[in-house]
Structure 1
């Protein structure tokens, strides 16, 4: 494939990926190979042919992928051609690029490589929403990140691919001007401001996040499956068998207490380890280019990750406070931008941190005072909203209590009914807390809304980022004069609701956020 005389040349992936691809596949298939060697039929030499065949297939697959993969950057697009039997041609307009994510797993880091993920908004069904380059050198990955986020930068690759990104940027910054005084953006180009960095005291929030505990459960499941595949039963270990026998012989409350304490210790230790691996060397910076700036999040111990979000695509920030994290006075800040991963950690601007720090990070990311963004004083919603929360919490709890009393009488379990009464005060407290956390405010630049109890969310959404409104009203809301108003946006979850607001206030709020859009409704 020969480019035209004025077109940028096509480039290949780094040759070192010929070693990375087989090694990455071998790591994933290692448990299977071990099982085949230990449990297969015939002599050991014969059983070796299967793993060797798999290794050869991985090597050949990596070679074919390297030979058939090309990419290039033109002034307008990023193009990627892949495939031999099944060819794919991907082309992403550069003005639609939202984020650039650099990921380097442990095997990639050993060989000095990175994977470049480019996320973009799809303009039509024929355009891909993004592409990935697996893998290029670290210098090439950083060069691509700078050029894709700075659309005014030259697209010609550096003469020496091994040159550092810092050297490339310094050369670009020192290039003579084409005429006229330098604009402020041009004078700031290459400047990096640090907004936040990791503090190890934040480790105390790790056990309070559900994602970390769920990750520990996934690790337990993987270990269990590995033991099962190898045919190893932990009960065959004398020490484990003796401990299990003693727990079985002890009173039930002792066994439950010991098992619960053991699981709690393992969960806490696992959460701390996962937090350290995920957020090691965390830094949040703002990098300036000639046509704007970008937020960059770098983190990771075994797998290094660097996420860059153009501030032109940033539409707001969200403060997330799950119940346990909120009880520990902690929170986490997430960016609202188009092109970010749906994975909760894909949009995270920081690890779980003190609540004050989370609001500070949201404010500096949005270039706004905290009290005009996520800490804005919120307006209370009508008392009818409290009545709805009391009804929706107490009615199901009361029904469960009645069922518990009936079941207790049928199966002769006298304590089941009285114990279930604890659901009523819990439901009452939950309803009151949900109402206390309900509110909204409209500042000069942001629509701020908060709702939730088990998972409290505070959203500061740019008013200019609202592209439409959705009004929802159930039969019960209609009788109470309430309505749910959802601000539609292309960023984040796609819509952020203001729950149970007075019907007329909801229309006025929408009209004030996006002037003249709903004027005909407010005057009718």
Structure 2
């Protein structure tokens, strides 16, 4: 009987290399020019009208346009069953590849230029601690529909077309929360506007120096400073404070609008929660529920005074982009943050009653709070007595001592911990109070630290290590025996080999 040779294995066709959407030839330079508009305006129109300014401005625009063209021509990508590949680079060629089974995050971002042309940038990450800015794969950009399809493909989700082949419609997303216009009143309490003003002033002064601009030669500014010079110092300080508060409020409201416009948090049938937000630049981030390891409630001092808070997810897969990508609720009422936390993780540990820490922890906080003003007061008093320094200096420093005592007491009041059904809860901080609920099954280790001062007070700092979020979350200044019992109860058997039972 004649044996027939075995048929050769059927080779799977290798996908061809593709290019990004050709409209990126226009969109990429447009986005770059939008960011450079203030600089180009100052370069061309402020100061003396000189030929070199116009030449530099026009040349910059031309180079940006050419860069967009060459960037599109030199970029190609390929998606196989095993990995995602990207080749790019105008001067230096870069080749990147991410195995499909290591993909943890897919973020969709659309800047103003993208939105004008219906495009989105797709950022694919592995969830590692991406320390280099160039790590990961970014497809900038494809059509919005293609970006959504790639999100589902990369996260191993069936596409809408595949899911609807049996005639059933895809389940609608369940809305957990959306932006309420009343939340805008919390924007000025985050101090983001004050930081923005400081950055803008620094940039403006540096730019003025580079362009040799003299604001003192502007009639309006010269007249304003002339009027202020004739007023009392108290009035000048009051006017400056009012102006700073008004500008900070406007800047904070504008920042809140740009970042959180049309904010929506939804739960989808593919076991993900999705955040979409942004006015000029829209961003859509999907967080798989199986990677959620808890939540973190942030309450800066002013926001806490107004009963407001911000909520972030503690999750694996976001790398160093944790803060920007893990937002679940922007500055909003604290009660709303608690409600969303319960809706996302299935219980409400952030509002659970906490166990107070020992009185020794209060002493430590008081000593640390008043140490600096007490030493400063003593030093200034000695200089005032023996070196003729003004007595008002040490009196002013002494006035800080009662305030420091209040801060120390507040820091102690915020200390606490608890164990709920599935979560370890810890809270600390005064200027920014942070309450973290960490899933007990996500804790992979413990670190127990004790300084010489803690040893005398029989206190320790117990730190839970995890693969999610910032990687470690501490329970500060807990009693020695309480810390051991807490760690053993939170994750049974993890500490058992190291414990000495009495």
| TM-score, normalization by structure 1 | 0.86
Partner of 2:446: 469
| Equivalent of residue 398 in structure 2, options 401, 421, 426 | 421
Offset at 1:112? 1.6
Partner of 1:100: 106
SS of the residue corresponding to residue 349 of structure 1 reads strand
Partner of 2:74: 68
Partner of 1:386: 362
Superimposed CA distance per residue, residues 386-410 of structure 1 (whole angstroms, 9 cap, x where no aligned partner):
1111221122221122123234443
The CA distance in 1 between the partners of 2:264 and 2:199, in whole Å, is 27
Would the aligned equivalents of 2:103 and 2:126 in 1 still touch at CA under 8 Å? yes
SS of the residue corresponding to residue 104 of structure 2 reads strand
| Equivalent of residue 175 in structure 2, options 170, 185, 194 | 194
Q: 1:54 to 1:100 in 2, by over 3 A?
A: same
Would the aligned equivalents of 2:461 and 2:474 in 1 still touch at CA under 8 Å? yes
Offset at 1:424? 1.4
Q: 1:238 to 1:222 in 2, by over 3 A?
A: same
Work out the number of aligned pairs and report it. 488
The CA distance in 2 between the partners of 1:188 and 1:481, in whole Å, is 61
Q: 1:502 to 1:113 in 2, by over 3 A?
A: same
Superimposed CA distance per residue, residues 402-430 of structure 1 (whole angstroms, 9 cap, x where no aligned partner):
12323444354222222222211111111
Would the aligned equivalents of 2:112 and 2:281 in 1 still touch at CA under 8 Å? yes
The CA distance in 2 between the partners of 1:188 and 1:385, in whole Å, is 57
Superimposed CA distance per residue, residues 434-491 of structure 1 (whole angstroms, 9 cap, x where no aligned partner):
1111111112211111011111100001111111111111111112111101000111
Partner of 1:505: 482
Partner of 2:333: 354
Q: 1:209 to 1:75 in 2, by over 3 A?
A: same
| TM-score, normalization by structure 2 | 0.89
The CA distance in 2 between the partners of 1:516 and 1:139, in whole Å, is 49
The CA distance in 2 between the partners of 1:345 and 1:273, in whole Å, is 18
Q: 1:194 to 1:152 in 2, by over 3 A?
A: closer
Superimposed CA distance per residue, residues 219-266 of structure 1 (whole angstroms, 9 cap, x where no aligned partner):
333444444444443333333322211211111111111111111111
Offset at 1:433? 1.0
Would the aligned equivalents of 1:31 and 1:226 in 2 still touch at CA under 8 Å? no
Partner of 2:371: 395
Partner of 2:244: 263
Q: Does 2:120 correspond to 1:114?
A: yes
Q: Does 2:394 correspond to 1:406?
A: no
Would the aligned equivalents of 1:173 and 1:190 in 2 still touch at CA under 8 Å? no
The CA distance in 2 between the partners of 1:141 and 1:24, in whole Å, is 19
Partner of 1:308: 286
The CA distance in 1 between the partners of 2:381 and 2:460, in whole Å, is 37
Q: 1:500 to 1:48 in 2, by over 3 A?
A: closer
Partner of 1:338: 316
Q: 1:275 to 1:37 in 2, by over 3 A?
A: closer
> What is the RMSD of the two structures over their aligned residues, measured on CA atoms?
2.8
Q: 1:445 to 1:237 in 2, by over 3 A?
A: same
Q: 1:260 to 1:316 in 2, by over 3 A?
A: same
Would the aligned equivalents of 2:352 and 2:418 in 1 still touch at CA under 8 Å? yes
The CA distance in 2 between the partners of 1:345 and 1:387, in whole Å, is 36
Would the aligned equivalents of 1:334 and 1:348 in 2 still touch at CA under 8 Å? yes
The CA distance in 2 between the partners of 1:342 and 1:406, in whole Å, is 50
Q: Does 2:22 correspond to 1:15?
A: yes
Q: 1:514 to 1:188 in 2, by over 3 A?
A: farther
Partner of 2:5: none
SS of the residue corresponding to residue 351 of structure 1 reads strand
Superimposed CA distance per residue, residues 302-347 of structure 1 (whole angstroms, 9 cap, x where no aligned partner):
1111111111211110000111111111100011112334463432
Q: Does 2:227 correspond to 1:221?
A: no
Would the aligned equivalents of 2:322 and 2:469 in 1 still touch at CA under 8 Å? no
Q: 1:243 to 1:234 in 2, by over 3 A?
A: same
Q: 1:195 to 1:41 in 2, by over 3 A?
A: closer
Q: 1:346 to 1:248 in 2, by over 3 A?
A: farther
The CA distance in 1 between the partners of 2:171 and 2:371, in whole Å, is 59
Offset at 1:287? 1.4
The CA distance in 2 between the partners of 1:47 and 1:124, in whole Å, is 39
